[in-house]
Amino acid sequence: MPIRKLREFLDRHEVKYFVVSHSPAYTAQEIAASAHVPGKELAKTVMVTIDGNLAMAVLPASHHIDFQQLRQLSGEQNVVLAAESEFADIFPDCETGAMPPFGNLYGMAVYVSEELEADDDIAFNAGAHTELLRLSYESYKKLVKPVVGKLSFPMK
């Protein structure tokens, strides 16, 4: 099960978390509604390549990624959306689009939108389109050590 690797990692680090099961949902906004989580508290993972290397951009479900801001944050000019074919093999136990924002478990950099720091908790897909995982943002930040900055803007 996709969440197993993540749960083992969190358990090893003695992190308290909740698993939230919900009906199948595929867009970040559908997931937020299905799981009764405000869109600004649900984090979505967007796969990007930065100077040819896969990375995760993590932003509120209610936001769009801003590639220019991510370029500035990463210090690289070549920042583009990754094609599914570039990362599907890295997450064999995860449903496409449901990767948890723990790039450190997969050897990749993680960039987090500063808006997510405004909440005490972070919720995100846990490898399937029917489960979310929720934990304290401070625990997430401590474990993942992301680069935090401005990299998204609200949807209209």
Q: Would you say the C-alpha torsion 141, 142, 145, 147 has a positive or negative sign? A: positive
Q: Which domain holds residue 24?
A: 2-148
Q: What are phi and psi of 115, to 5 degrees?
A: -60, -30
Residue 45 lies in a domain: yes
Contact 98, 125 (CB under 8 A): yes
Higher pLDDT, 73 or 96: 73
Query: Which pLDDT band, with edges at 50, 70 and 90, does 1 fall under?
Result: very low
Is residue 153 domain-resident?
A: no
What CA–CA distance (Å, rounded) separates 47 from 63? Answer: 15
Which pLDDT value is given to residue 127? Answer: 85
How do residues 17-70 score in pLDDT, each as one tens digit? 998 877 676 776 777 666 667 666 789 999 999 999 999 999 998 899 999 999
> Over the stretch 115-150, which tens digit does the pLDDT of each residue have?
999 989 999 988 888 888 999 999 999 999 999 999
Contact 133, 17 (CB under 8 A): yes
pTM of the model: 0.90
Confidence at residue 38, expressed as pLDDT on a 0 to 100 scale: 66
155 falls within a domain: no
In the prediction, which pLDDT does 35 show? 67
Residue 154 lies in a domain: no
What is the count of structural domains for the chain?
1
